[in-house]
C-alpha cells in the first residue's frame, strides 16, 4: 500500500482529496470537526516535508452550482485553528482565481479550494474536470475514505493524471488497515455486532462475515425480522415481512459455517415510539400486539456482554436499540461499555457505521475503542467486499 511516505514531496504541489463534509451550525460554523482532526497527521507530514498542499473536498449536496451555505470557507477557518497556522482559501476549485492561488503558494503552505460539488463534472466523474483539477498538482494523495465508494472526478478519475505519483494519506491507510485487521484476523474468537433497523441493508455484510467471524450478535430493529421468521410475535416492532426468507437463509448459512448467531431473548417494549411511552420487559417472541420493541432487554444485554468478554477481535456496526432516546439507550450503552472494558483488556475493537459511531460518541466511549471508522457508507461497502473506486484508482496508478 503506497502512502505519502513513499512520495518525494519537498517543493512539490501535492493535491490532496480530503473528506471535510462536516456538519455546520446555523451560524455556518463547524459543529463537529472530527473529520478535520483526522486529516491533521497527513497534512502536517506534507507541510513538514516542505510541500505545497492543495486540498480538495466536497460539503453537503449542492446542485452542481455555487451555494453559499455549502461553501468550504468556514471549514478553512476551523482547519487553520486546528492546524495552528494560517491557510489560504480560494472561492474556486478550477479557473483563473484557483490557478493564481496555486501559483502563489509557497513551500510549507496550504490552500483549500472551494467545494468541488459546485461543478457538474464532479459527481459525473467528468474527465475534463478531473484534468483541470489535476493541473493544480505534481502528485495526488487520496485521504478521503468516506468518499472512496464514489467514482467522482476528485476521488477517482483524477488519479489517472498522476501515473506513478499518487498515494494514500494516513486516514485512508488506517481505515484499510483496520478494517482488514477484522476481516483477516487470526485473533479469535472474532465477533461481529450487527444492528440497525433493516436486514435488507445488511445482507451482504452478514453473508461475508460468515467466513471471517465465530460469533454474530444481531440487534436493533433488524432482530425482529429474524424472530418473526421463527414464528415469534413481534407486535408493532419494525419488521421486514418481505425478508423473512432472507433471515432464515442467514440462520441456515450460520449453522452451515459453524458461526454462532446471538439474537435478543427479551426486549424493552413500548406502547408508543416516544421517550415518554409506557414500557415493559417481555420475551422478544411474545410482544403484545399494540406494543413495539425499542431496546434489548436485561437478559439479552447480559448474554451479549458475556460474548463480548470472550472475544479477541470485534466489529460493531449498528446500535441495539433506539439509543437517541434515553429510555431505550441502555442496551447500546451497556454493551458499548463492555466493549470498552474488553478493549482496555486487549480486545481489538473496530466501530463503524454512522449510528454506531454516534452512539459511542454520545456515551463518551470513543476514546476507549481501538479504532473508530470515519467511513460510513464506504466502510459498509468495503465490508461487503465491493471494490471501492477511490481505493482502486490509487492502486492502479500508484
Residue 4: all three cell numbers together: 505519502
Angle between helices 73-83 and 34-48 (to 10 degrees): 60
Place of cell 514531496: 9
Residues designated catalytic = 35, 198, 354, 377
Residue 363: all three cell numbers together: 456515551
Which distant-in-sequence residues (6+ apart) come within 8 Å of 74 by Cβ?
24, 28, 29, 30
Residue 337: all three cell numbers together: 461499555
Rounded CA-CA distance 213/254 in Å is: 10
Angle between helices 170-183 and 34-48 (to 10 degrees): 120
Which distant-in-sequence residues (6+ apart) come within 8 Å of 357 by Cβ?
351, 366, 372, 373, 374
**Torsion sign across C-alpha atoms 228, 334, 344, 364:** positive
Q: Which helix (H) or strand (E) holds 141?
A: strand 139-142
Which distant-in-sequence residues (6+ apart) come within 8 Å of 249 by Cβ?
none
Residue 83: all three cell numbers together: 492546524
Q: Where are the alpha helices (DSSP H) in the chain?
A: 34-48, 73-83, 96-104, 120-124, 127-134, 170-183, 203-209, 223-229, 244-257, 298-310, 330-344, 354-362, 377-383, 389-397
Residue 303: all three cell numbers together: 448474554
**Torsions phi, psi for 276 (to 5 deg):** -100, 10
Amino acid at each position: 500500500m503506497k502512502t505519502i511516505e513513499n512520495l518525494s514531496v519537498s517543493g512539490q504541489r501535492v493535491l490532496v482529496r480530503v473528506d471535510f463534509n462536516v456538519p455546520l451550525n446555523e451560524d455556518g460554523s463547524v459543529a463537529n470537526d472530527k473529520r478535520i482532526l483526522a486529516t491533521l497527521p497527513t497534512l502536517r507530514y506534507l507541510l513538514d516535508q516542505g510541500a505545497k498542499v492543495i486540498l480538495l473536498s466536497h460539503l453537503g449536496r449542492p446542485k452542481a452550482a455555487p451555494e453559499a451555505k455549502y461553501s468550504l470557507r468556514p471549514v478553512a477557518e476551523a482547519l487553520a485553528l486546528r492546524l495552528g497556522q494560517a491557510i489560504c482559501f480560494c472561492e474556486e476549485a478550477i479557473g483563473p482565481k484557483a490557478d493564481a492561488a496555486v501559483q502563489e503558494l509557497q513551500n510549507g503552505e496550504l490552500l483549500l479550494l472551494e467545494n468541488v460539488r459546485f461543478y457538474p463534472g464532479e459527481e459525473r466523474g467528468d474527465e475534463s474536470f478531473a484534468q483541470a483539477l489535476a493541473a493544480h498538482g505534481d502528485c495526488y494523495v487520496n485521504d478521503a475514505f468516506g468518499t472512496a465508494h464514489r467514482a467522482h472526478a476528485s476521488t477517482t478519475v483524477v488519479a489517472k493524471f498522476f501515473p506513478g505519483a499518487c498515494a494514500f494519506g494516513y486516514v485512508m491507510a488506517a481505515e484499510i488497515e483496520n478494517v482488514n485487521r477484522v476481516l483477516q484476523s487470526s485473533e479469535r474468537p472474532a465477533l461481529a455486532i450487527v444492528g440497525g433497523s433493516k436486514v435488507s441493508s445488511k445482507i451482504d455484510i452478514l453473508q461475508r462475515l460468515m467466513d471471517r467471524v465465530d460469533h454474530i450478535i444481531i440487534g436493533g430493529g433488524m432482530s425482529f425480522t429474524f424472530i418473526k421468521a421463527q414464528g415469534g410475535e413481534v407486535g408493532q416492532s419494525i419488521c421486514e415481512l418481505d425478508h423473512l426468507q432472507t433471515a432464515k437463509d442467514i440462520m441456515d448459512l450460520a449453522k452451515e459455517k459453524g458461526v454462532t448467531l446471538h439474537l435478543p431473548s427479551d426486549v424493552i417494549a413500548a406502547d408508543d415510539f416516544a421517550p415518554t411511552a409506557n414500557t415493559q420487559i417481555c420475551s422478544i417472541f411474545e410482544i403484545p400486539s399494540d406494543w413495539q420493541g425499542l431496546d434489548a432487554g436485561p437478559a439479552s444485554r447480559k448474554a451479549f456482554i458475556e460474548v463480548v468478554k470472550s472475544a479477541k477481535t470485534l466489529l460493531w456496526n449498528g446500535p441495539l436499540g433506539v439509543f437517541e432516546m434515553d429510555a431505550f439507550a441502555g442496551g447500546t450503552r451497556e454493551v458499548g461499555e463492555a466493549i470498552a472494558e474488553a478493549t482496555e483488556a486487549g480486545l481489538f475493537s473496530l466501530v463503524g457505521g454512522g449510528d454506531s459511531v454516534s452512539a459511542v460518541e454520545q456515551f463518551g466511549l470513543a476514546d476507549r475503542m481501538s479504532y473508530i471508522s470515519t467511513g460510513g457508507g464506504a466502510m459498509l461497502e468495503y465490508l461487503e467486499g465491493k471494490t471501492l473506486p477511490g481505493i482502486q484508482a490509487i492502486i492502479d496508478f500508484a
